[in-house]
Structure 1
Amino acid sequence: MSTFDRITRTIPTKNGLFMLGGLIAYFLLMRVVGLAEVYWLRTFNLVILILFVRNSILSFRRQSSESYQSFNTMFMISVRTCFVGIGLFALFLAIYLDQIDKTFMANLAVKESFGGEITAVSAASIVFIEGMISGLAASFVLIQLFKSKTIEAKA
């Protein structure tokens, strides 16, 4: 495996796992404090996501030997970071809602109307889709902020 392949796999995995830890810690803290049902506090999940996607992009820029990193490579690293962190968090959430805290799942089913019966898997799927959309948007914005400046040739 080349150094480039190793970098593009280890950075997203490491930061995705840290993102997972941050999301789980925040979720459990909100459950303990009793604020898990205040849904607007979920916006702090975006702050956690942005922090670790930013860290992935900056880590790649530091470790890469390329003087100009392509948008595609940085986007791939960002999306992989989000996929690892959010995908595993959605898995954790499905297990948590189905096995650990069934009363929270029952409260969620009563308070939220999704046009049908909500299950732990459907709730986790919604969190995954919502998180990935946020991750894609955050990735695009962060890449624009951190991309290398190019010099255009004068005509």
Structure 2
Amino acid sequence: MEKIGLKYGLLTAAGLIGYFFIMKMIGLSNIVELRFLNAVILTIGIVMALRGFKKVKKEHFGYLSGLGLAFITSLVATIIFSAFMLIYIKTFDNSLLDVLTHNRLVGERISSTPGLVIFMVLMLEGVISGAMIGFIAMQFFKRPDHTVPNSP
């Protein structure tokens, strides 16, 4: 389970970083509301991890095992993405930090360590989203009649 969580966590982190670069290239990285699509990428990663785990197990797996896999996947992806964003903001582009400090929800809490606050906000956002996504996805994957279609 841990290997599958790590694999799909890395793939999900790559997707999140790729999405950030696409947004940066088309000039939309300063729109904070578009971070919602990070949850879509995280959902795809978690569902792919659960699907991969079901293929490996070739049988019904426990509800808590699925939730654990979703948590591992989201934790790995979120740690990597949060660390990437912290390094990116500190090294290459402070304008994103300015956008987040002007945001009422995050900006009021930024003190002398804005990098740490941004890292923690991204971590909480990703892990909580991952837990909710895992809970929702397991409603589908817990059913014994759910079969994974054969892929070519």
**TM over 0.5, yes or no?**
yes
Of residues 137-146 and 109-118 in structure 1, the stretch that sits farther from structure 2 once superposed is 109-118
Letter in 2 for 1:130: E
Q: Is 2:96 aligned against 1:101?
A: no
Output the CA distance in 2 between the equivalents of 1:45 and 1:35. Answer: 14
Deviation >4 Å, runs of 4+? none
* Kept after mapping to 2: 8 A contact 1:90/1:128: yes
Query: Between Structure 1 and Structure 2, how many residues are aligned?
Result: 142
The SS at the match of 1:101 is coil
The SS at the match of 1:36 is coil
* Kept after mapping to 2: 8 A contact 1:53/1:78: yes
Output the CA distance in 2 between the equivalents of 1:39 and 1:110. Answer: 11
Query: What is the percent sequence identity of the aligned residues?
Result: 25
Q: Is 2:120 aligned against 1:120?
A: no
Spell out the pairing of 1:28-47 with structure 2 (5 A cutoff): 28-47=21-40
Letter in 1 for 2:134: S
**TM-align CA RMSD:** 1.6
The SS at the match of 2:108 is coil
The higher radius of gyration belongs to 1
Q: List gaps (5 residues or longer) in structure 1.
A: 1-7, 151-155
Alpha-carbon distance, 1:62 to partner: 0.6
The SS at the match of 1:60 is helix
TM (normalized to structure 1)? 0.84
Letter in 2 for 1:128: M
Output the CA distance in 1 between the equivalents of 2:75 and 2:109. Answer: 27
Q: Is 2:71 aligned against 1:79?
A: yes
Letter in 1 for 2:129: S
Q: List gaps (5 residues or longer) in structure 2.
A: 146-152
Sort the Cα spacing of 1:92 and 1:116 in 2 relative to 1 into closer, same or farther, 3 A.
closer
TM (normalized to structure 2)? 0.86
Letter in 2 for 1:11: I
